[in-house]
Amino acid sequence: MRLRFGSLLSRILWWHAIAVLFTALAVSAGVYLFLDSTADRFQRDTLRIHAERARGALQAGAPGTTQIAAPNTGALDPPRTFSILVLDTAGRRLSGSGSAAAIADATIPRRSTPAYFVRRSRAAIFSGYSLPSVLNGSRVWIVAVQNLEHPDYIVDDIVKQFLLYGLAIVSPLLLLLLAVDAWIVRRALRPVRHASELVRTLNPQRLHVRVPEAQLPSEVRPLASAVNAALDRVVESYRTQRDFTADAAHELRTPITVTRMRIEAVEDPLLRAELKRDLDHLGRLVGQLLEIAELDGTLPALDDVVDLRGLAQETVSAIAPLVFRRGQSISLSGTEDPVQVRGNGEMIARAMNGLVENAVAHTPEGTAITVDVGADGSFRVCDDGPGIREDEQELVFRRFWRGDRSTADSSGLGLAIVSRIAEAHGAVVSLRSGDGETVFSIRFPLYAPPARDA
Amino acid sequence: MRLLAVEDNPDLVRMLGRLLEDAGFAMDHAGTVEDALLVLRSGEYAAVILDLGLPDGSGLSILREMRSWGDKTPVIALTARSAVADRVAGLACGADDYLVKPFAPEELVARLQALLRRTGTIVDQVIECGNVAFNPASRDVEIAGIPTILSARELELLDVLIRRHGRVVPKPAVEAQLFGLDDDLGSNAVEVYVHRLRRRLADAGASAQIVTVRGVGYMLGERPEPRPAA
């Protein structure tokens, strides 16, 4: 089974835990082995010293005798865990002291060179040192034995305790270390989180934002710089598209203007009027297509402070001549004070114009159109025309959708543009039609001036 | 009266020439920023029609240059972009009016005449709206060819409306014209005079009418012809 890590943190914690455990075990084992061997050497040295002291005492004892009594010297009376035995060539015990009674004398090595040995019996473990010597001309072995099970012998216990304590100390340390790991990683990744938040806010209106590379850990910096480079390319392509749109606007609109002027020379007044109407429609269509293209491309900044009431007044003024030529009427109602909203003035003006044009184009002569601005940032266009059927209300915002396909005045783009602009401002266009009244409304976000200290 | 058209499209230049000639103007033209600046330094023009998109730069730079050397010739900016930003930039640089392509030729002529009237270049001309004729100099009014006497306030009202006929005149502008800035006026003072003038026009058989754009202002316009069946 392969381990899969979702996060850097879990990966670091996992491998760090393994590394720490391994290190703890290795250090413990190493220390244990070191202590063990040191204790062993120390013990052997002690045995050897006792044996050599005993030999010296024996040689200084009674020469010429083969039977020796237990020498009553300090050298032959070692600490309680030790015993000194003297064996002859037949393995008989010539002398003995201490607690070494349980050890079988025959199993003690009797070689020509000194030898260490360990013997286990039911009751105890003995460790010993057998030192060849000559006593009164005959070969004897002086044997120092230590009972390792004797309560006074504590070296092994210390080593065992060390392991237990070691574990008890290492476990909380390990936990602490992992907690520190988590803290370090979180802290190290904080700039990365900030950068992600920043990138999350990017949209076509906010493409100028770049990830601050200098604040990021060097491991992540290549990713950030790649993201920034990608953003540069996106901006560049948006710019290319916008430039194309602007160029296209110029290239298309000028010939339409020229044609519009040529039409003036047409003799037949009926034909002239028809051509004018067709060309006006074409001109409007081109304009709207370019608007849609611009809106789909990049949007200008949306953080101007715009006076909705002032814009509505301009919009109504501009369209009023057309409205009255068509035998309709228009008025502006609602608040008379400026209404400050946040957005893009040009786009809001287009949206207003789109809604009013829609009302003008789709209602008959005699229709009263009312534009209403609310202090809450709402903009409404009401008319008392025939209204929009319920099953068509959803469709009117679709591109190129026209209720009456034969209406030459309508490109079917006007409301789609309005809807797109509203969307860009985080608003929706709502439509209510019935009871002899049709109302389109958009509510723009109100501008809240920053609180200023007196 | 000589106008300068700064425009790089030869077709449009030709059509503009014909249009302006028909309207009683003579026209010179320049196709680039460089030419335009050259011509503007040497010649005297009543007005300039300035395309903002030129092959060697923006028309705005011409405008800025002109204004910087103190040339106050009225300028109508033409642009292929409907961008309000363009308009704001144009007006900030000193354009007097602004038209978006494609525009109706008569609109251009009307704007030009309005501009020249406003700057005092055209003074004696009679302004007509439908069968209503107003001579700003003599302040004579003819409706359907018959001289008509109006009261002083009615004349002021007709004056302000007919100078910008076909366009909405904001109510504050009407108030300023009618009463000056000092007069203390009642809330419906303007309505009263509008009502009176409206009746005078109707009684005299005028084909122009004053329409109220409630909440915005007033507009003098020709009565709409019945809409032809589409």
pLDDT at A332: 94
| Contact list, A334 vs chain B (CB under 8 Å) | 215
Residue A4 or B51, more confident: B51
Locate the chain B residue with the closest alpha carbon to A314: B216
Sign of CA dihedral A33, A36, A39, A42: negative
A283 CB near a chain B CB, below 8 Å?
A: yes
What does the alpha-carbon distance between residue A220 and residue A213 come to, in Å, rounded to a whole number? 9
Buried-exposed string A113-140: b where 16+ CB fall within 10 A, e elsewhere: ebbebebeeeebebbbbbbebebeeeeb
Residue among B105, B118, B38, B42 nearest B75 (CA)? B118
The four Cα atoms B209, B213, B217, B222 give a dihedral, to 10 degrees, of -20
What does the alpha-carbon distance between residue B193 and residue B198 come to, in Å, rounded to a whole number? 8
The four Cα atoms A283, A285, A287, A288 give a dihedral, to 10 degrees, of 160
- DSSP 8-state symbol, A58: H
What does the alpha-carbon distance between residue B214 and residue A329 come to, in Å, rounded to a whole number? 9
Model-wide pTM > 0.90: no
What tokens does A368 get?
Answer: 């009263």
- Please tell me the distance in Å from B54's CA to the nearest CA on chain A: 10
What does the alpha-carbon distance between residue A11 and residue A6 come to, in Å, rounded to a whole number? 8
The pLDDT tens digits for B109-168 are 988 988 887 777 766 678 888 899 998 888 899 998 899 999 988 999 999 999 888 889
Alpha-carbon distances, residue A417 vs A238, A246, A411, B135 (angstroms): 19, 17, 11, 45
Residue entry with tokens 């010429």? A64
What does the alpha-carbon distance between residue B87 and residue A311 come to, in Å, rounded to a whole number? 14
Count of residues in chain B: 230
| Contact list, A266 vs chain B (CB under 8 Å) | none
Asked whether the beta carbons of residue B224 and residue A327 sit closer than 8 angstroms, the reply is: yes
Q: How many CB pairs under 8 A join A and B?
A: 110
pLDDT at A77: 52
Q: Say if CB A347 and CB A300 are below 8 A apart.
A: yes
The pLDDT tens digits for A109-136 are 888 888 888 887 776 778 888 888 887 7
pLDDT at A72: 45
Asked whether the beta carbons of residue A250 and residue B167 sit closer than 8 angstroms, the reply is: no
Q: Say if CB A358 and CB A414 are below 8 A apart.
A: yes
Q: Mean pLDDT across the stretch B171-197?
A: 80
A346 CB near a chain B CB, below 8 Å?
A: yes
Q: Say if CB A387 and CB A433 are below 8 A apart.
A: yes
Locate the chain A residue with the closest alpha carbon to B219: A321
Beta strands in A328-453 (DSSP E): 329-334, 340-343, 368-373, 378-383, 429-434, 437-443
A254 CB near a chain B CB, below 8 Å?
A: yes
Cα A137 → chain centroid: 88
- Tens digit of pLDDT at every position of chain A (454 positions): 456 667 777 888 888 888 888 887 888 788 878 887 888 888 888 888 888 888 777 754 554 444 444 444 444 555 667 778 888 887 777 776 555 555 667 778 888 888 888 887 776 778 888 888 887 778 888 888 887 776 656 666 776 777 777 778 777 887 888 888 889 888 888 888 888 888 888 876 677 788 888 888 888 888 889 989 998 998 888 778 777 776 776 678 888 988 988 888 889 999 999 998 888 888 888 887 777 777 766 666 777 888 999 999 989 998 998 898 888 999 999 998 999 998 888 888 889 988 998 899 888 888 999 999 999 999 999 999 888 888 777 777 777 766 664 455 566 778 888 988 888 888 888 998 888 889 999 998 888 877 665 4
A366 CB near a chain B CB, below 8 Å?
A: no
Locate the chain A residue with the closest alpha carbon to B52: A250
Residue entry with tokens 């007033």? B218
pLDDT at B224 over 80: no
What does the alpha-carbon distance between residue B91 and residue B85 come to, in Å, rounded to a whole number? 10
Phi, psi at B104, each rounded to 5°? -80, 135
pLDDT at A330: 94
- Closest partner residue to A321 (CB to CB) among B80, B221, B228 is B221
- The packing angle between helices B105-118 and B10-22, to 10°, is 60
Amino acid A446 reads L
Alpha-carbon distances, residue A366 vs A276, A354, A361, A369, A387 (angstroms): 24, 20, 13, 10, 14
What does the alpha-carbon distance between residue A99 and residue A245 come to, in Å, rounded to a whole number? 109
Largest CA distance in chain A: 163
H or E segment and range at residue B77: strand B75-79
Asked whether the beta carbons of residue B224 and residue A254 sit closer than 8 angstroms, the reply is: no
What tokens does B35 get?
Answer: 């030419």
Most B CBs within 10 A among A252, A258, A263, hence the mutation to make, goes to A258
pLDDT at A426: 86
Strand-strand pairing, B217-222 and B169-170: antiparallel
pLDDT at A165: 79
pLDDT at A374: 93
Is residue A363 helix, strand or coil? coil
Asked whether the beta carbons of residue B230 and residue A346 sit closer than 8 angstroms, the reply is: no
- Please tell me the distance in Å from B38's CA to the nearest CA on chain A: 24
pLDDT at A64: 46
pLDDT at B230: 42
